[in-house]
Structure 1
Amino acid sequence: MPFGYVSRRTRRPGTLASIGAVSSPAVRQRFRPWLVDAAFGLGVTLVLAVVITANRGGSRDPDLVAYLWAVGLGALMLARRRYPRAVLFVTAFGLFAYYAAGYPAVGVAVPVAAALYAAAEAGRLGSAVLTAALVVAVSLTFRLVDGQDPTYVVGYELVSHLGLIVTAVALGDSVRSRRVEKFRQRELAALTAAEYARQARYRVQTERLTIARDLHDSVGHAVSVISLHADVATEALGHDEPAAATALARIRSTAAHTLRDLRSTVAVLRATDGTAHDLISVRDLDRVLEPAHLAGMDVTVLVDPAAATLPAPVDAAAYRIVQEAVTNAVRHSGGARVDVQLRVAGADLLLTVSDDGPGRSMTPTPTDLPEDLSAGPAVGHGIAGMAERARALGGILTVDRSPDGCAVRARIPIGASR
């Protein structure tokens, strides 16, 4: 890398590496790049041809070669986007060759201004500065050695040449900077759109999990109750008609409750704020304890009075966790007792649902609970759903199984949900 070279490129493909050579979509639609370059090259050729025709200085008159040299420098503009550095170097050495041949003076800045602009526009600012310094230094040295007036050369022509050179480089770098900024704006817009899409997918997935949990908890609970009453009705038919009628009436009542739960689930999904969580609450635990009563289990409930003022999301989550835990106890524990306890400890709600039925030991963690529990034959989406409800509120849920019974314990922060 040459001394003093300042790289404006990046290794990331498709971003700033080629930004200097890429115009905006609107410009590309209006003007094809090669047409712009052709017009640029034609302008360079015409300006140089006019200066050559003036025939000022030099040891030989302008001829066809001199004008072909002007055409060649203009033609180089067609390659300025793809090879900006090569165009700059060829232009500089072509200028040296022109003066070495003794042709009329064309200045120093005019022949290289277009190439300097192209290099700066393409992000080759270091190459543009070094080449400009080289051309000016060589020109200044030869003119002073040739005996020209230092006051005129340094005090007048050097200032004018440097002014044109600096203007060309600054203009090219300014155009490049504007393109970089536009590119960054488009990239930011694309990233923003992608982030919105990702968040939308996340919200959809969250809603799907919410639907799955709510349907599992409400419908699963109802099916358990209906199944128990159906067994009672089946056994009572033919010899205990009042008991069968009572069981069928409870089946009908449970079905009505299930429809209400489904409507509540739909209301939660349609709600635009958290008010829909008020549709279910630990104040209505008697409904979820009904299957345990019907199964002949001894039910004990201890609810801390402070739990009556829980935030709606915590209240709804606690209700669903108790509902699912009691349903699992009725279905799978084979025990004779189920205990439900809710108490507030500091900034947390502590929830415990335990039974005295036999089982295996398992204490999952918040991170591995859904995967680990899904492997067990007696564990379905219900326990995973309970864990997801607790984790969604920043809490933790564990399940302990042993020969002495099963205990579902949850700790849910209260303050974060207010």
Structure 2
Amino acid sequence: MNNAQLNELKQRYVAKGAASPATHFADHARNAEIWDADGKRFIDFAGGIGVLNIGHCHPKVVEAVKAQLDKVMHTCQTVMPYEGYVKVAEKLSQIAPVRGHAKVMLANSGAEALENAVKVARAATGKTNVICFDGGYHGRTFMTMAMNGKVNPYQADFGPMPGTVFRAPYPVPYHGVSEDEALRGLKMALRTDANPKDTAAIILEPVLGEGGFYPAPATFLKAIREICDEHGMLMIVDEVQSGFGRTGKMFAIEHSGVEPDIMTMAKSMADGMPISAVVGTDKHMDASGGNSLGGTYTGSPVSCAATLAVLEVFEQEGILEKSQALGDKLAKRFSSWQQQFDCIDNSRNMGAMAAFDVVSDKANHTPDAELAGALCKKAREKGLVLLSCGMYGNTIRFLMPVTIEDSVLEEGFGIIEECLKELVGHKAGATA
């Protein structure tokens, strides 16, 4: 079927809240390129929202999935376990930088991992409250919607959110929130709303994902570790988007040297197959009773096979080094654009987790969500998949596979420059 036919079916049968606004339908893909149902080629700077750090259809992952399909597709690991689940748990316990000996539970999605992380924290501490941060994103289930630090589009239409979730400022100096102010806000929340004796955990992303790709300073993360220790709360780090090599290390928290009690991960964990994990200190992970964690499809044999293949690819192909090298290229190009175009500001990256802001006034950091949207739209028309994000909708984020070929990367850069020139022109006196 072609794009037009598929769009007609989408309009008739897919729920409005679940339907993509995109009108091109993916047919096949390879590494950082996608071809649609009409045969048009796109360069992918979105990576399925950070799911494809080692590229579309990596041959070793495809091979592992095909081999597993010939053996067993499903048993439900609580009914009859299988090797893949325990091997993934072993591998993750070895690489996740949590305190002490780690244990693992597998789930299906990032939101499900966060839900279970809260369950574990409550069971381990006997407390109920959780504290999250402005701009954070943790999922679309009810508990994770309550934990999100942004109302639209995640909460607006769905009525009251679960209670016992409290909010603190996230340090983004560019938007007027210093690290000191963020810590004061957190400590105030502990005094005014979330009594420490009732608070199970502080949950945060070491780099905001949907909130705009702002990394938390290492000193801020260390302060949260100290606050959790002082009050007997658990530190939960959400690495769903920042994990699996996006930042130049396997997990973004490693840049700080801080060891959390619990980590959640998903997205690029299995190169597109649905799987997530909660990894935590053994005494916390073992706090709840037998059969209290799990689900019918959690840690499916096929997804486990994909995860094990992904971990092999990381070891064999130097993915972390490639991520850092890609980040350097992005930072260099962003700096050039910031000089060329008045609308580009506040470029930043941690490894290949990179972004810049689109503004109408650099002096006042005035967000321009309309122009950011126009840039993404025009890029798509020219064959480049590009995403915006952020509290103000004006951040352009980059999540292309870290395995992207240099020629494809440069082609994508060229499309962005062409779009910017058409939309806003060059800064006076600047050269390309």
The interval holding the TM-score normalised by the smaller chain is under 0.3
Structure 1 length as normaliser, TM-score? 0.20
Q: Would you tell me which structure has more helix in proportion to its own residues?
A: 1
For the pair shown, the structure with the greater C-alpha radius of gyration is 1
Bigger RCO of structures 1 and 2 (CA < 8 A, at least 6 apart): 2
